[in-house]
Amino acid sequence: MKLYNTLTRQKEEFVPINGNQVKMYSCGPTVYNYAHIGNLRTYVFMDILRRTLKYNGYELLNVMNITDVGHLVSDEDEGEDKMVKGAREQKKTPWEIAEYYTDVFMEDIAALNIGRPEIIPKATDHIKEMISFVEGLLEKGYAYETSDGIYFDISKFDGYGKLSRLNLEEQMAGARVEVNDEKRHPADFALWKKAPKEHIMQWESPWGMGYPGWHIECSAMGRKYLGDRFDIHTGGVDHIPVHHENEIAQSEALLGEPAVNFWLHGEFMMVNNGKMSKSLGNTYTIANIKERGYNPLAFRYMCLNAHYRNKLNFTWDVMQASQVSYDRFIEGALQHKEGTAEIPDDVQTSFLTEFEDAINDDLNIPKALGIAWNMVRYPEKSKDIYELLLKMDDVFGLGIKYAEQKSAEEPELDAEIERLIEERQQARKEKNWKLSDEIRDKLKEMGIELQDTPQGVKWKRI
Ligand code: AMP
Ligand code: ZN
């Protein structure tokens, strides 16, 4: 399997550090608002990587954080905390805001058939780990204290800039940097901020009450759950110059060696060939997609049609076209289900080999989909093809199996119910009884009763 490593700007053969186990960290959402379709494209990319690794037989341990604190407005260190700003505008506490948007995010990723990462830690539960990370950096002389916080001294770290390959002036042109006389270098970034009294979210620390910088979150949680060194780190391309550059600096400074082998980044989603922004009113959500009558999986299909390292331009026309193609794809696949034609073994093997070569060539999913389409269009209907398509759908995640289970009267609903049940099973596995009960209640509202049986969960309409 080959993956494009941003660090080396090359496709490299992927070899895990530890045998068959793959440890992967994915930068998670900042939960002060709804995730927009651009954010979600990045999680579809994460999911495709998850599925491809599993398809190849790797055992995966994937951590995705929930940023529920300290992600300051834009990437620089000054400015108002996004959580606090969201809370003020919506007249709720930051904790309420975070909980609400975390739940919606989980529903969004379930609707897009994005697998839940094995561990989903919240930043606010890991303040202790972040503090000890900062202490380690201070001890090693990579950080210093000012009147308003603890800063990382980038001049002490030789490799600064190696991921983005930008010089400091170029990096700083991208990120507006606060004027702060006490900083040794303008690009030094906050590891910990001392909190003014009115700051809502704050914790005790050796440096008084305060809150963590955003970058330290990911370094501390990655280290806690994946260890000092792990295989893959993912995020969107916007994270390359500041967030991930800073993560590398912190982790490598503390450990004395690189923490991550492969850095993978998903390209941006554009809308009408421009940036998504609140002021343009084009930060669409999954709810917007559903409101217009589209299936979230048709949005997923749209994402699969572009390589993750290419920009993808969203328009409602493309959404409409994707829905049409998605329906045709699923219907076409289902037409093979009862097919009696026999497909010669060598033809089957060549379809599968082409598919595997594509996904293992830096996740060339558009090409893999093309191969699946050739099978859907195969002139004779064959159960063999159907079986192969199901196997490939382990990677695509387009829900061919759900479509098969659709009941005649309420097809969309059944898929949604199955998804919610799966989500509840996962919540129970994680001993998240609150979420599990919430899902049960939600299903009840939909008129669905659950029965836990030795054969698994059964459901019926009441
Ligand atoms: P945030 O919640 O702002 O931390 O963003 C969550 C994820 O979405 C990050 O991995 C970002 O890199 C990614 N992201 C933000 N905007 C876009 C976009 N327009 N297209 C694709 N990914 C994005
Ligand atoms: Zn991160």
* Residue 120, domain CATH: 3.40.50.620
The CA 28 to ligand 2 mean position distance, Å, reads: 7
Same domain, 119 and 91: yes
Distance (Å, rounded) from C-alpha 217 to C-alpha 124? Answer: 9
Tokens representing 207 are 């440096």
Q: Is 269 in the pocket of ligand 1 (CB under 6 A)?
A: yes
Percent of the chain with pLDDT strictly greater than 70: 92
Last residue of a domain, one of 247, 266, 285: 266
Question: Is there a domain that residue 440 lies in?
Answer: yes
Query: By alpha-carbon position, which residue is closest to atom 11 of ligand 1?
Result: 236
- Single residue among 382, 406, 430 that ends a domain in this structure: 406
Residue with the bigger pLDDT between 230 and 434: it is: 230
87 domain residue, yes or no: yes
**Residue nearest atom 14 in ligand 1 by C-alpha distance:** 39
Domain containing 390 equals 271-406
pLDDT tens digits along 24-51: 999 999 998 899 999 999 999 999 999 9
241: Cβ below 6 Å to ligand 1? no
Same domain for 358 and 212, yes or no, is no
**Cβ contact 383:342 at 8 Å:** no
Which CATH number does the domain housing residue 279 bear? 1.10.730
Ligand 1 neighbour 235 (Cβ under 6 A): yes
Looking at the fold, whether 366 and 440 belong to one and the same domain comes out as no
Q: Ligand 1 pocket, 236 CB below 6 A?
A: yes
Same domain, 329 and 347: yes
| Pair (194, 312) in one structural domain | no
**Residue 388, Cβ neighbours under 10 Å: how many?**
22
Q: For position 75, what pLDDT does the model report?
A: 39
215 within a domain of the structure (yes/no): yes
Give CB contacts under 8 A, 24+ apart, made by 285-293.
285/34, 285/35, 285/36, 285/37, 285/108, 286/35, 286/37, 286/40, 286/108, 286/111, 286/112, 287/34, 289/37, 289/319, 290/111, 292/316, 292/319
Where does the pLDDT of residue 273 fall: very low under 50, low under 70, confident under 90, or very high at 90 and above?
Answer: very high
Would residue 4 count as lying in a domain?
no
Q: To which residue do tokens 């906050």 refer? A: 190
Q: Which of 39, 81, 85, 163 should be mutated for ligand 1, with most atoms under 8 A from CB? A: 39
Distance (Å) from CA 144 to ligand 1 centroid:
30
Tell me the CA–centroid distance for residue 338 and ligand 2, in Å: 47
Q: How confident is the model at residue 177 (pLDDT cuts 50, 70, 90)?
A: low
279-318 pLDDT, tens digit each: 788 999 999 999 999 999 999 999 999 999 999 999 999 9
Mean pLDDT of the region 247-270: 97
**Predicted TM-score (pTM) of this structure:** 0.86
10: in domain:
no
77 and 93 in a single domain? The answer is yes
Q: Is the pLDDT of residue 406 over 60?
A: no
Q: What do you get for the CA distance between the two ends of the chain, in Å?
A: 48
Q: Are residues 295 and 380 in the same domain?
A: yes
Atom of ligand 1 nearest to the CA of 29: 2
In a domain, 3, yes or no: no
CA–CA distance, 61 with 408 (Å, rounded to integer): 38
- Give me ligand 2 centre to Cα 215, in Å: 6
* Predicted confidence (pLDDT) at residue 171 exceeds the cutoff of 70: no
Cα(251) to centroid(ligand 2), Å? 12
Distance 401 CA to ligand 2 centre (A): 34
29 alpha carbon – ligand 2 mean position (Å): 9
Q: Average pLDDT, stretch 129-135?
A: 98
**In terms of DSSP bridges, do strands 143-146 and 149-152 run parallel, antiparallel, or are they unpaired?**
antiparallel
| Ligand 1 binding pocket includes 459 (Cβ within 6 Å) | no
Residue 409: pLDDT band with limits 50, 70, 90:
very low
Query: Domain total for the chain?
Result: 3
Same domain, 298 and 255: no
Compute how many other C-beta atoms are within 10 angstroms of the C-beta atom of residue 99. Answer: 17
Which residues are close to ligand 2, an ion, with C-beta < 5 A? 27, 218
Contact at 8 Å (CB) between 326 and 383? no
Residue-averaged pLDDT of the chain? 91
Best of 43, 64, 238, 245 for a ligand 1 pocket test (most atoms within 8 Å of beta carbon): 238
Residue 179 is assigned to a structural domain of this protein? yes
**195 in the same domain as 69:** yes
- For residue range 58-89, list pLDDT tens digits in order: 999 999 999 998 555 443 444 566 777 777 78
**Mean pLDDT, residues 387-405 taken together:** 91
How high is the pLDDT of residue 390?
Answer: 97
Distance 413 CA to ligand 2 centre (A): 35
pLDDT, greater one: 204 or 413: 204
* pLDDT value of position 201: 87
Burial class (CB in 10 A: 0-12, 13-18, 19+), 88: middle
Residue nearest to atom 8 of ligand 1 (CA): 39
Q: Band the pLDDT of 208: cuts 50, 70, 90.
A: very high
Indicate whether 97 pLDDT > 50: yes
Residues 102 and 222 in one domain: yes
| Position 53 confidence tier, pLDDT thresholds 50, 70, 90 | very high
Which of ligand 1's atoms lies nearest the C-alpha of 235?
10
Of ligand 1's atoms, which has the minimum distance to the CA of residue 28? 6
219 lines ligand 1 (CB under 6 A): no
C-alpha 374 to ligand 1 mean position (Å): 33
- Residue 2 belongs to a domain: no
How close is the Cα of 266 to the center of ligand 1, in Å? 9
CA torsion angle 301 306 309 311 (round to 10)? -110
Q: Which phi-psi region, left, alpha or beta, contains residue 174 (left: φ > 0; alpha: ψ -120 to 50)?
A: alpha
Spell out the SS3 assignment of the chain.
Answer: CEEEECCCCEEEECCCCECCEEEEEECCCECCCCCCHHHHHHHHHHHHHHHHHHHCCCEEEEEECEECCCCECCCCCCCCEHHHHHHHHHCCCHHHHHHHHHHHHHHHHHHCCCCCCCECCEHHHHHHHHHHHHHHHHHCCCEEEECCEEEECHHHCCCCCCCCCCCHHHHHHHCCCCCCCCCCCCCCEEEEEECCCCCCCCECCCCCCEEECHHHHHHHHHHHHHCCCEEEEEEEHHHHHHHHHHHHHHHHHHHCCCCEEEEEEECCEEECCECCCHHHCCCCCHHHHHHCCCCHHHHHHHHHCCCCCCCEEECHHHHHHHHHHHHHHHHHHHCCCCCECCCCHHHHHHHHHHHHHHHCECCCHHHHHHHHHHHHCCCCCEHHHHHHHHHHHHHHCCCHHHHHHCCCCCHHHHHHHHHHHHHHHHHHHCCCHHHHHHHHHHHHHCCEEEEEECCEEEEEEC
Residue 123 carries which side chain, given as an amino acid letter?
Answer: A
- Residue 133 scores a pLDDT above 50: yes
- Looking at the structure, tell me whether residues 25 and 129 fall in a common domain: yes
| Shortest-distance Cα residue to atom 18 of ligand 1 | 38
One domain, residues 401 and 430: no
Which of 224, 242, 266 is the endpoint of a domain? 266
**Residue of minimum CA distance from atom 15 in ligand 1:** 39
Q: What is the pLDDT of residue 444?
A: 85
Ligand 1 neighbour 39 (Cβ under 6 A)? yes
